[in-house]
């Protein structure tokens, strides 16, 4: 029997417009960067997707290289969509990206028209759908003219294989130039995806946040919990089943210095004073930032998704709390 969604799923989620466009995204979106690969538990993947959608998370964010192996996250989500959730396709925002290494040779990486459009065709086959809602260029390419890369995004939209274009990991200057090109091509570019958290303020420094605001584009944030550092996972040490122990690729044991652990514990005290988990407070901190459309959360089990969703009900931060957080983290 196919999955039947919760009738009340839209009652509590908040939906924010992507800049000046008509597209709205849930305040909390689900990213499939981790735990949707070849060796991950398929039933758990299904349960996470069902839990997300049952609680108003309509946006599922993927990339061509997510796995491992590359492509497997798209294949697994495509299977879930086909076998369980196809009735709800028009109620979903499904995004994918191309820009990092995907296959051998000169046409499987970065930002050429050849790579982006070939990759999109492959992604659609793996997902088993006719179009994605958002197609991103995953990172800037210093060796390809920006006009070529943006032209490929525009072609993807005009061909009907994507509804909107997005950019990921661009800074303010790059965003400014890309926006002007996409506008001249009549391409509906609506969203920027970048890393941002209490511990990582780079998009404040590189002009991305300010430029997105000026250009009236949305911003969706990945790694809002700093790969799990801004959760209760590491307060009492490093658990055996943590991301650090399992992979150690994006979050290494060396990152958990005594200074960092002290910061985590100090931030946790503020969260406790607010009656929240550290994860909820950290997500709420991102969402209170002007110009942020949505936070992308990853999860290894459904309960983490439910915990993260509670961030949308957080009380506003006081000026004193924000100053304390900055003093601890910066």
What residues pair up with 98 in beta bridges, in sequence order?
Answer: 137
Q: What is the pLDDT of residue 64?
A: 98
161 lies in a domain?
yes
CA–chain centroid gap for 313, Å, is: 20
Look at residue 328 and tell me if it is in a domain.
Answer: no
CB atoms within 10 A of CB 239: 13
Q: What does the block give as tokens for 319? A: 């000026």
pLDDT digits (tens, 9 = 90+) for 81-113: 999 999 999 999 999 999 999 999 999 999 999
Q: What is the pLDDT of residue 239?
A: 66
Residue 205's pLDDT band, with cuts at 50, 70 and 90, is very high
pTM of the predicted structure, to 2 decimals: 0.94
Domain count of the chain? 1
Residue 61 forms part of a structural domain:
yes
Map residue 200 onto helix, strand or coil. coil
Residue 54 pLDDT greater than 90, yes or no? yes
Question: Measured between alpha carbons, how far is 33 from 99 in angstroms, rounded to an integer?
Answer: 15
Q: How many CB atoms lie within 10 A of CB 315?
A: 10
pLDDT band, residue 250 (cuts 50/70/90): low
Has residue 10 been placed in a domain?
no
pLDDT at position 102 is 98
CATH code for the domain in which residue 45 is found: 3.20.20.100
| pLDDT for the residue 245 | 54
Rounded to a whole number of angstroms, the CA Rg of the chain reads 19
Tell me what pLDDT residue 182 has: 98
Rounded Cα distance between 309 and 320, Å, is 25
Is the pLDDT reported for residue 1 higher than 80? Answer: no
pLDDT at 248 > cutoff 70: no
Query: What is the pLDDT at residue 233?
Result: 85
Q: Is residue 324 part of a domain?
A: no
Residues 46-74: what's their mean pLDDT? 98
The answer to the question of residue 327 being in a domain is no
Q: What angle do CA 302, 325, 301 make, to 5 degrees?
A: 10
Number of helices followed by number of strands (H, E) in the chain = 12, 10
Cα–Cα distance measured from residue 79 to residue 216, given in angstroms and rounded to the nearest whole number? 35
Number of C-beta neighbours around residue 150 at 10 A: 26
- Would you place residue 79 in the very low, low, confident or very high pLDDT band (cuts 50, 70, 90)? very high
Confidence at 243, pLDDT banded by 50, 70, 90: low
Supply 59's token pair: 């946006």
Q: What is the mean pLDDT of residues 10-20?
A: 97
Domain holding 90, by residue range, is 15-228+278-317
Residue 255 is encoded by which pair of tokens?
């990152």
pLDDT on residue 2 = 84
What angle separates helix 172-184 from helix 208-215, to the nearest 10 degrees? 30
pLDDT at 241 over 70: no
pLDDT band at 256 (very low <50, low <70, confident <90, very high): confident
252-284 burial, b for 16+ CB within 10 Å, e for fewer? eeeebeeeebebbeebbebbeebebbbbbbbbb
For 264-303, write each residue's pLDDT tens digit. Answer: 999 999 999 999 999 999 999 999 999 999 999 999 999 9
Measure CA of the first residue to CA of the last residue in the chain; give whole Å: 51
């Amino acid at each position: 029997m196919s999955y039947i969604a919760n009738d009340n799923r839209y009652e509590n989620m908040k939906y924010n417009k992507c800049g000046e466009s008509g597209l709205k995204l849930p305040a909390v979106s689900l990213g499939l960067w981790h735990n949707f690969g070849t060796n991950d538990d398929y039933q758990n993947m299904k349960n996470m997707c069902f839990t997300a959608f049952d609680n108003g998370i309509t946006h599922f964010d993927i990339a061509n290289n997510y796995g491992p192996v590359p492509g497997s996250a798209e294949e697994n989500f495509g299977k879930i969509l086909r076998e369980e959730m196809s009735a709800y396709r028009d109620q979903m925002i499904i995004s994918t990206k191309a820009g990092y290494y995907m296959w051998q040779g000169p046409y499987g990486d970065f930002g050429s028209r050849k790579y982006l459009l070939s990759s999109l065709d492959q992604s659609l086959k793996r997902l088993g759908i006719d179009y994605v809602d958002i197609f991103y260029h995953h990172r800037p390419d210093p060796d390809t003219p920006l006009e070529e890369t943006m032209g490929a995004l525009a072609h993807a939209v005009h061909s009907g294989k994507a509804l909107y274009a997005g950019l990921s990991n661009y800074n303010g200057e790059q965003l400014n130039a890309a926006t002007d090109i996409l506008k001249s091509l009549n391409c509906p570019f609506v969203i920027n995806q970048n890393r941002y958290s209490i511990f990582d303020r780079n998009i404040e420094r590189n002009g991305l946040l300010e430029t997105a605001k000026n250009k009236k584009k949305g911003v969706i944030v990945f790694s809002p919990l700093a790969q799990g550092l801004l959760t209760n996972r590491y307060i009492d040490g490093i658990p055996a089943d943590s991301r650090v122990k399992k992979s150690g690729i994006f979050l290494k044991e060396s990152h958990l210095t005594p200074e960092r652990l002290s910061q985590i514990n100090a931030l946790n005290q503020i969260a406790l004073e607010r009656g929240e988990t550290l994860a909820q407070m950290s997500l709420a901190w991102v969402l209170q930032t002007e110009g942020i459309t949505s936070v992308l959360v990853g999860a290894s089990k459904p309960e983490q998704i439910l915990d993260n969703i509670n961030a949308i009900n957080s009380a506003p931060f006081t000026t004193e709390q924000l100053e304390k957080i900055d003093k601890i983290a910066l």
